Amino acid sequence: MGSLRDCTWILGLAAYRVTGLERQLDGRLVVTLERRGLRQYVCSGCGRRTGHVRDAKVRLWDDLPWAEHPVTLRYSLRRLWCRHCGIRTERVGFADPHARLTRRFRQRIGLDCQSMPTSHAAVRHAVSWGTARRAERTFLQAWDRTRPKHRPRHLGVDEIQRGKGQHFWTVLSDLVRGEVIGLQQDRSEDSLRTLLKDRLEARQRAAVEAVCMDMHRPYLNVVTEVLSRAEAVFDKFHVLQHASAALDEVRRQEFFRAGPVMRTHGRGTRWLLRRWKIVRGSTRRAAGALRGQSPTVQSVCLAGAARSALDI
């Protein structure tokens, strides 16, 4: 045991064999690789095979650790002369072009980032925060490309605020599965139209039965235009907000119509009337007396009671 052949077996890269091992002072293991098999290389531009090697340059990739030892792979990357692309580097089987991490190492970091903060994953794998963040982003992009395309029946559209000031993003989500379908900057008609047309295919759009949103006119316009068969459903919070504002307006009008004498009875009673069922003692008696005062004050009370009923 302990031969380079065993190291090749441990490394587990089918098209490569280990030709050297080097221990560094910090405990890092540098594994030197070489291709095995035919001397033909895959062009990174077009994917065709060619044997015309122009030169080679040593490149390093971080890989999964061996026990507690971080591992770096060292390989002489060839530059090829491809008849279709010109001069290109060869494509290696274990990493993406221009990447400094192997594909499986990046996958491990990205997976860890789903269950812990990015900074913790970076420390755990001895990489910088930026490297961990890029690995996570690539992992999520790969997942997004391969996840199954469901046909959502009920969609949700809302805006979220990002950063300071009036910077909003539009969020499109599948309400049944509880997953975000897409994000788009701004909360305009264009942003929602882009989301609906880019993130959903025609067969997915055809399956939508209802879209829940707040009472934002641009969203309603786009839903009516793009998803003409779907129902637009306004969420309860915004409906109550508008009903509450309308009742307040009625109450205000009644209050000022009551005249200066009656106004003294109604002043400062908005919250009292709203909560008159639960207040006790002298406050309760004051609320009761106010309710018995006059038709004008009663109309004010009715507005308050209706508010209470709406704010269940």
Of the ranges 15-23, 38-46, 148-156, 191-199, which one interacts with Zn ion (CB under 5 A)?
38-46
- Contacting residue, 31, 33, 43, 300, with Zn ion by CB under 5 A: 43
Residue 182 as a binder of Zn ion (CB under 5 A): the answer is no
- Contacting residue, 82, 171, 208, 297, with Zn ion by CB under 5 A: 82
Of the ranges 8-16, 28-36, 76-84, 147-155, which one interacts with Zn ion (CB under 5 A)?
76-84
Of the ranges 42-50, 103-111, 159-167, 278-286, which one interacts with Zn ion (CB under 5 A)?
42-50
Contact in structure between 260 and 296 (CB atoms under 8 Å): no
Residue 45 as a binder of Zn ion (CB under 5 A): the answer is yes
- Sign of the CA dihedral running 284, 286, 289, 291: negative
Number of residues engaging Zn ion in binding (CB under 5 A):
6
d(CA 174, CA 181): 7
Query: For residues 38 and 67, which CB has a smaller minimum distance to Zn ion in the complex?
Result: 38
Task: Name the residue among 299, 307, 309, 291 with its Cα closest to residue 248.
Answer: 307
* Count of other CB atoms within 10 angstroms of residue 214: 16
Instruction: Give the shortest CB-76-to-Zn ion separation in angstroms.
Output: 19
- Binding to Zn ion, residues 191-250 (CB under 5 A): none
- Binding to Zn ion, residues 84-113 (CB under 5 A): 84-85
Instruction: Give the shortest CB-82-to-Zn ion separation in angstroms.
Output: 3
Contact in structure between 32 and 21 (CB atoms under 8 Å): yes
Contact in structure between 18 and 31 (CB atoms under 8 Å): yes
Residue 80 as a binder of Zn ion (CB under 5 A): the answer is no
Beta 41-42 vs 86-89: how paired, if at all?
unpaired
Residues near 142 by Cβ (< 8 Å), separated by ≥ 6? none
**Binding region for Zn ion (CB under 5 A):** 43, 45-46, 82, 84-85
